[in-house]
Homo-oligomer: A and B are copies of this chain.
Amino acid sequence: MIVQKDKIEELDRKKEQIIEAALKRFSHFGIPKTTMNEIAEDLSISKALLYYYFPDKISLAYEVAEFIIAEFLKQHELIFENAASCFEGLQDLISFRIAFGKKYFMLHIHDKQTDVSVHDVRAQQFICSLRENELSLITAFLEKAKQNGELKAVDSQEIAKILMDMLTGIWICEMYVNHKTLIPNDQQFHTIKTKMEKIIHVFYEGIKNNNHGTANSK
């Protein structure tokens, strides 16, 4: 029984090693430019062994994605927990999103017109699930601020949705419309951050409670 459990743990540890190695390659060169052979070589194992632990390349990629998404959501929670106010929480959220994007944007780069996410149901569901998770975190955060009296009586979920749409929109707009460089540079990230901060500022003015907050805080 205990032996059985140890085995499972070891299997998981091995999978984790593979995921970490794959993540390194994927986040550096992107998924299409990473071969299963390279991942295997990095770990000094045979390619066949990768297929012992993962059914195919795309499944490995998804597990890698799940791995970093877990980190992404965990950080979200932390930021919201430690936020001194709703406004500061939103600002921290932006900083984090930019830093996270810098670190992992290669995972998002699609080679030519060959983009997995278009027709793949699995990708659609994956993104959908991520969005929902993020949405509920932000909604909860806004809800808390509303109960606090920092925000006025708004529909938290509706506001959270709008907020997410705007942030994603600005990102895409800057990356894929204004400066279509396949590999984004620091300047672009900085521009996006600045724009997001400005948006958050006006946005916050629109949802904050004018009877409470800064006016009363003295």
A residues lining the B interface (CB < 8 Å): 112-113, 115, 117-118, 158-159, 161-162, 165-166, 168-173, 176-177, 180, 195, 198-199, 202-207, 210
Contact = CB atoms under 8 A, between A and B. Distances in A.
Contacts of A198: 158, 161-162
Contact of A202 (B159, B169, B176): B159
A87 to B, nearest CB: 12
Contact of A168 (B173, B199, B206): B173
Contact of A206 (B170, B176, B180, B206): B206
B210 A202 contact: no
Q: How many copies are assembled?
A: 2
Given A113-B112, A204-B206, A172 B177 contact: yes
A214 B204 CA distance: 20
Nearest to A210: B210
Contact of A203 (B165, B202, B210): B202
Contacts of A202: 159, 162, 203, 206-207
Given A166-B166, A172-B173, A205-B207, 11 more contacts: A162-B195, A165-B173, A165-B195, A168-B169, A168-B173, A169-B169, A169-B170, A172-B177, A202-B203, A202-B206, A205-B205
